[in-house]
Structure 1
Amino acid sequence: MANPVYHFEIPVTNMDRAITFYEAVLATKLSRETIDGYEMAFFPRADGKPGASGALAKGDVYVPSKTGAIIYFDVEDIDPVLARAKALGAKVLYPKKHIGPAGYVAEIEDSEGNRLALNALSD
């Protein structure tokens, strides 16, 4: 198993607000569905490609938190992503930092109160 993570779900309390935040910050489009009675908004998925995808998830079992697992989103350049996030009111929890061969990382708080990490291979 080269990439064992197949799917993730990010808890949200306000789906419209969360979709607006993630679509703007990550410059991507999410698709809404209802799965087993839960509101979901799925990130794009490229079948047959490495890596995982996931969804925003709203329901009684989904509770936003900064203390749980941290999901790292791969981005081309952290700076414009941080700028878009801050424009939407996001807090920077860990400023952009070079971490050697793995590139750069930063962490923000999303619109729902979750810790979200960003990773870029180049500056």
Structure 2
Amino acid sequence: MSGVEDGVRLVAYFEIPVTDLDRAVAFYEGLLGVRLERAVVDGHPMALFPPADGVGQATGALAAGESYVPSVDGTRVYFEVDDVPEVLARGVAAGARVLYPPASVGDGQVAELEDCEGNRVALLSHA
């Protein structure tokens, strides 16, 4: 028994709070090499990450609005990347601050950074 009922995905969607959506879109597109799609959801300006392409994978958005407050405290979103040091270097070049330098964990690497909005996000690779 896995502890998860059939049809339940533990994480399906996330939102990263931002105060300046244009700045955050430029940062994340450069950091991750993806295109974000702008939308307004329930009256909030957002930029959607590409849809997940596998079962159990989550997708999310950058979200601006009164209830979206950037912070280095709280939940950490981990972005899976091919090369943690390379992606971290792109983040630093775009103004991010390293909060946890690359470290080996199991069969991969992790690192954490403070994004352009003041959020703690993490990078993870399995190689």
Find the partner of 1:91 among 67, 72, 97. 97
Alignment partner of 1:118 is 2:123: yes
CA distance in 2, matches of 1:6, 1:98: 27
TM-score by length of structure 1 reads: 0.93
Percent of aligned positions that are identical: 53
The letter for the 1-side match of 2:118 is G
CA distance in 2, matches of 1:75, 1:61: 29
* Distance apart, 1:90 and its partner CA: 0.5
Alignment partner of 1:74 is 2:74: no
Structure 2 match to 1:43: 49
The letter for the 2-side match of 1:17 is R
Larger Rg: 2
Q: Secondary structure at the match of 1:44?
A: coil
* Distance apart, 1:94 and its partner CA: 0.1
Task: Provide the alpha-carbon RMSD of the alignment.
Answer: 1.3
Does the CA-based 8 Å contact 2:12-2:56 persist in structure 1? no
Alignment partner of 1:4 is 2:22: no
Does the CA-based 8 Å contact 2:46-2:62 persist in structure 1? yes
Q: Secondary structure at the match of 1:66?
A: coil
* Distance apart, 1:79 and its partner CA: 1.6
Alignment partner of 1:62 is 2:38: no
CA distance in 2, matches of 1:72, 1:47: 16
CA distance in 1, matches of 2:28, 2:106: 27
What is the count of residue pairs matched by the alignment?
Answer: 121
The 10-residue stretch of structure 1 (19-28 or 48-57) with the greater mean CA deviation from structure 2: 48-57
- Alignment gaps of 5+ in structure 2: none
